[in-house]
Amino acid sequence: MPTNNSSLYFYPVTITEIKDVVNTIQNKPSTGIEEVPISLIKECLEEFAMCFLLLINTSMELGQFPSRLKTAVFKIREAKDIKNYRPISLLSIFSKVIEKIVANRIIAFLQKFCLISDFQHEDNYSTETAVVELVQSVNESLDRNKHVFGIFFDLTSAFDTIDISFLEIKLEKLGIREKVLEWIISWMENRQMRVKINEVISEEKTISVGTPQGSVLGPLIFILYVNELENFVSYGKAIMYADDRSIIVEGKSIQELEHR
């Protein structure tokens, strides 16, 4: 993918935009570190809106994500299941609002310059949509009397593998530079993780790679991190949605497919 010469710039958020974003967040009883449920914020939105306005505009202007909003609460799950010890956590509601606003700006920019793959960002796209596309592609190949070979990828702990230095290069290539890039890196860096066993809490450890589990912006950042993968598919068709990946290849014979 060639480098995009245009750059994304933050523009000030408005009260109307803040209200619209807050009202899109689902009402859930769980809370982040501030222990303020989204339902309460919605009920008192007139009072909260100006606080959001000052916080978000200052954050974007400085290119810095508030460090106090990086603290997460471990999501309570079955303690005996080892799979539940991944860092899936409950993040600040205030963090989710800021992330959603930033994500909306990034997506609008990428759509304008056609810089993001299909199935990756549209509101009506989902894993199910990608599956429909896959089935349709297979049926079309079979209708042409072709043999079909499929490769399906399971990216284990996908969001935990993002390297910040590589991400910077990819984002700059897309046109995400200067304050916007500084803000994203600030959002990712210096996040702390702690473990609690019974009533004993460990010392904090810095997380050096990956995006926060449960975050609003994390899935979009991962999509941008792997957005160029389909360009390396020499044969066949790549179908992607978030961390679900598949490649469909057709050929006249099994031998031809094996050769490819």
- Residue 22: per-residue pLDDT: 94
Going by the DSSP 8-state scheme, the letter that residue 89 receives in this structure is E
- Residue 87: per-residue pLDDT: 52
Q: How far apart are CA 181 and CA 187, in angstroms?
A: 10
What residue type is 214 in one-letter code?
A: G
Identify whether the C-beta of residue 87 lies closer than 8 Å to the C-beta of residue 77.
no
Residue-averaged pLDDT of the chain: 83
- Residue 9: per-residue pLDDT: 95
- Residue 175: per-residue pLDDT: 95
pLDDT digit string (tens) for 78-126? 656 655 555 555 678 888 999 999 999 999 999 899 887 655 555 566 7
Of 16-25, 35-44, 194-203, 229-238, the range with the lowest mean pLDDT is: 194-203
| Predicted TM-score of the model (pTM) | 0.78
Q: Is the pLDDT of residue 76 over 60?
A: no
> Count of CB atoms within 10 A of residue 78's CB?
8
Reading the block at residue 222, the tokens are 């991962």
Q: How far apart are CA 18 and CA 25, in angstroms?
A: 11
Strand partners, 150: 248
- Residue 145: per-residue pLDDT: 94
Of 121-125, 187-191, 198-202, the range with the lowest mean pLDDT is: 121-125
Q: How far apart are CA 218 and CA 103, in angstroms?
A: 10
> Count of CB atoms within 10 A of residue 189's CB?
14
- Residue 107: per-residue pLDDT: 92
Q: How far apart are CA 155 and CA 222, in angstroms?
A: 11
Q: Is the pLDDT of residue 73 over 90?
A: no
What residue type is 256 in one-letter code?
A: E
